[in-house]
Structure 1
């Protein structure tokens, strides 16, 4: 396994089978251009097998934190340590960038994610509920 930071739209699009929905070229370009956005891709046999994305968040009273936005591993490669390795690699980048910590929101019944993050040293910080606003078709094109 080889973990590399994605730096081109081509790399992000080539990992499209790992995402929830097909990636768009314009969104991939915006992701790469945005300060503080990180995408690491794990390759097995030269093929994308997993990814982790992180976003730096800066706040006046907390400094800079890294949010682990999403982690995904292709089904044939699960339970082989790829998710843990990607998480640890993102932790290293967060430390290198001077972040004071890294956090991730996880649904309480997602045992696979909880086990992955705990195996990478995460501690439980209590209950978590996420509320969302949906803006409808096309709103995220901006």
Structure 2
């Protein structure tokens, strides 16, 4: 597949994300897709084949801290196995970088596993610096980790 056989654009239809569930870590629900697409600062771009089938995606979140300029966090990147090593991931990241620049972001960052050689190679090929000193801290289950003393805010 050459670049002319697919195009990249924003996801706007929750049903399209549900149909592309195979690209994600877990099945996409209509509710989850609607919620993501409605959240300010959240972006999801799809690489679509000529028949409009999604072959890859990248999601990002604009982040801002009071003492820093806005940055784009690359939340997740996925490419259908049959379409890997054809430039789809690089094109998705370039498109997200252009979106980030248009939103005033001065940087873009992400994290991945040290053993994810393909991702690290893709990121390096686009000029990223791999910071081997950083460590990610994850709380997958807040209630379990912090006990029942954590009370969710009322909505």
TM-score scaled to structure 2, two decimals? Answer: 0.83
* Higher strand fraction (1 or 2): 1
Which protein has the larger Cα radius of gyration, Structure 1 or Structure 2?
Answer: 2
Could you tell me which of 97, 109, 112 is aligned with 1:103?
109
C-alpha separation in 2, matches of 1:93 and 1:126: 27
Secondary structure, counterpart of 1:71 in structure 2: strand
Runs of 4+ in 1 over 4 A off after TM superposition: none
Q: What does 1:1-142 align with in structure 2 at a 5 Å threshold?
A: 1-45=6-50, 46-135=52-141
Unaligned runs of 5+ in 2: 1-5, 144-151
Contact 2:9 2:47 (8 Å CA) reproduced: yes
Unaligned runs of 5+ in 1: none
CA displacement, residues 70-121 of structure 1 (integer Å, 9 cap, x when unaligned): 0000100000010000011100000010012100112222110011111122
C-alpha separation in 1, matches of 2:19 and 2:64: 30
Contact 1:107 1:128 (8 Å CA) reproduced: no
Aligned Cα root-mean-square deviation (Å): 1.8
How many aligned positions are there? 139
C-alpha separation in 1, matches of 2:95 and 2:82: 21
Secondary structure, counterpart of 1:53 in structure 2: strand
Larger mean CA deviation between 59-68 and 128-137 belongs to 128-137
C-alpha separation in 2, matches of 1:96 and 1:74: 28
Give the CA deviation at 1:136: 7.3
CA displacement, residues 110-137 of structure 1 (integer Å, 9 cap, x when unaligned): 1100111111221223422212112279
C-alpha separation in 2, matches of 1:123 and 1:130: 16
C-alpha separation in 2, matches of 1:129 and 1:136: 19
